[in-house]
Structure 1
Amino acid sequence: MNAKINRHEFADKLTLADQLARDIASKLDAAIKARGKATLAVSGGGTPKQMFAVLCEQEIDWSKVTITLVDERWVDTDSDRSNAKLVADHLLHHEAHTATFVPLFDSAHKDDVDAALGDVGKRIDALGQPLDVVILGMGPDGHTASFFPGGDNLDKALDLDGKQAVISMRAGGAGEPRITLTLPRVLDARTLYLHIEGNDKKELLAKAEAGEDVPIRAVLTQDRVPLDVFWAP
């Protein structure tokens, strides 16, 4: 069975950013009102920057929101390649400056991502399950999170029966070693978004839905959580 896919298409990226940010904020606010806290896992890259700029200005009780990452490059947090730096530079500002950030990079094991898996997994487990909001992106090779084609731990990462919260990933297209939430943990979400932009990615997503064997297909074919796809050209 395929995921229930709700499609939201916009005329431009700015309109998408505004609507997605407001939708996310409403979900976080509802979580806070229902359970006294909210959790948000975000993805990196250039696509979410504009959305982060809108999201951080939403007037919710950010002091009760914990933000983490879907995946991370195994680089120091002052590197321009760091997703933690992206979040610090573009999201943890304005209203959102009071949110708590839980990184995936572990400086105590900066030379060995595999040695960090236990400690980082405990951090993620401590956030509680399910996560309230998870936001995915997609690369031009069809990867999402750090589920890269040809990745050394791809099969383990996509195993729906897997018990690990996080796993390491090395792949030709990944650059640095990575750490990523596993697919079961990504899908253990109250709300799951896929934020993509450009006609090329829309076409790639359609190919994946039609059966092309790229990692994003694992998100499209699962039946654990509906998927909200936000797209603009």
Structure 2
Amino acid sequence: MATLVEKFFDNKDALTKELSATLEQSLRDGIKNDGRAVLMVSGGSSPAPAYKHLSTLDLDWQHVDVAMVDERWVDSSHEKSNEAFIKSTLLQNHGSAANFITMKNTAATAQQGTQECETAYSELKIPYDVTILGMGPDGHTASLFPNANGLKHGLTTTQSVCAINAIESEVTGSITERMTLTLNAIAQSKVVKLLISGEEKLAVYKQAKAGGDVNDMPLRAVLNHPSINIEVYWAP
């Protein structure tokens, strides 16, 4: 099992306040101790207020690497692009000085773009300071989707990134081709912050924590990993 610390909040504002403070501290500690800080970021509404707050802080952003946890294989101008979301929230104000590592490249497919992405990610400091994960109602995290084409590889490879082609569902939408951090890469973080909101997702999290087939709920692979330090943030 991973090392789990569960932080349950009364509301999203309280979650954001705690998340913002701990992210700031992790970045400052990374810069102070290693000369650089590495922040792995996910899209989604839960971290957005914390990203916006971080962007206003007078950190040594030139020594911060911000890299994607996962990405749809779409151009950065696409409305569903996680890169566009990060650029509009975290990489604003002072945060615009950070070194940003994207996953999407010019390759026609995520599979064809894997090696270029792997090369870019191999230059990042290990361990990463923080990795931010979300979770879907289907039990996916990052772009490790249930029974997806590429999931087994993503859970077993020693590489940092892999291509995924998800089974189309209400959760995935029509864009099933993704690039994602592998389980191995997620395990290379000093701390993983898993952000969950609402009663429905809390029930999914508890189901994943109870055990079962990782192919059906890939979050289980993260929760079961013996060397991952996870802080779960939940608000209604």
Q: What TM-score do you get using the length of structure 2 for normalisation?
A: 0.93
Runs (4+) off by over 3 Å: none
Whole-angstrom CA distance in 1 between matches of 2:99 and 2:10: 33
Q: Which deviates the most, 45-54 or 139-148?
A: 45-54
Q: CA deviation at 1:46?
A: 2.5
For residue 47 of structure 1, report the CA deviation from its aligned partner.
2.3
Q: Secondary structure at the match of 2:129?
A: strand
**Aligned twin of 1:192:** 192
Q: CA offsets, 1:14-49, max 9 Å, x none?
A: 111121011011011001001111111011122221
Distance (Å, rounded) in 2 between the aligned partners of 1:59 and 1:7: 29
Which 5+ residue runs of structure 2 have no aligned equivalent?
Answer: none
> What letter corresponds to residue 210 of structure 1 in structure 2?
A
| Matched residue, 2:220 | 217
How big is the shift at 1:57? 2.2
Query: Is residue 232 of structure 2 the alignment partner of residue 229 of structure 1?
Result: yes
CA contact (8 A) 1:166 1:181 kept: yes
State the SS of the aligned residue for 1:6: strand
What is aligned with 1:55?
Answer: 54
User: Does 1:13 pair with 2:15?
Assistant: no
Pairs within 5 Å for 1:33-52? 33-52=32-51
Aligned residue identity for 1:166: V
The one-letter amino acid paired with 2:161 is V
Tell me how far apart the structure 1 counterparts of residues 30 and 10 of structure 2 sit (CA, whole Å): 30
What residue in structure 2 maps to residue 24 of structure 1? 23
Partner amino acid for 1:71?
A: D
Counterpart code for 1:145? A
| Structure 1 unaligned blocks of 5 or more | none
Output the aligned Cα RMSD.
1.2
Secondary structure at 1:39 match in 2: strand
Q: Residue 212 of structure 1: CA displacement? A: 4.2
- 1:118-161 superposed Cα distances (whole Å, 9 cap, x missing partner): 111000001132211111100111100101012001111111xx
Deviations for 1:167-194, whole angstroms, at most 9, x for unmatched residues?
A: 1111123332000011001111111110
Which residue matches 2:146? 149
Cross-structure match for 1:140: 137
Residues 22 and 58, structure 1, Cα contact 8 Å, conserved in 2: no
Q: Matches of 1:185 and 1:197 in 2, distance apart?
A: 24
Q: What pairs with 1:33-182 in structure 2 (closer than 5 Å)?
A: 33-106=32-105, 108-109=106-107, 111-159=108-156, 162-171=157-166, 172-173=168-169, 174=172, 175-176=174-175, 177-182=177-182
Judged with a 3 Å threshold, the aligned counterparts in structure 2 of structure 1 residues 179 and 76 are, in CA distance, closer, same or farther, namely same
Contact 2:192 2:230 in 1 (8 A): yes
Residue by residue, what CA displacement relative to the aligned partner does 1:172-224 show, whole Å, maximum 9, x if unpaired? Answer: 23332000011001111111110111111111111111124311111111111
Structure 2 counterpart of 1:226, one-letter code: N
Task: Tell me the percent identity.
Answer: 34
Counterpart residue type for residue 137 of structure 1: G
CA contact (8 A) 1:17 1:54 kept: no
8 Å contact from structure 1 (residues 18, 54) kept in 2? no
1:169 is matched by which residue type in structure 2? I
Distance 2:72 2:223 in 1: 24
TM-score normalised by the chain length of structure 1: 0.94
The farther-off stretch of 211-220 and 36-45 is 211-220
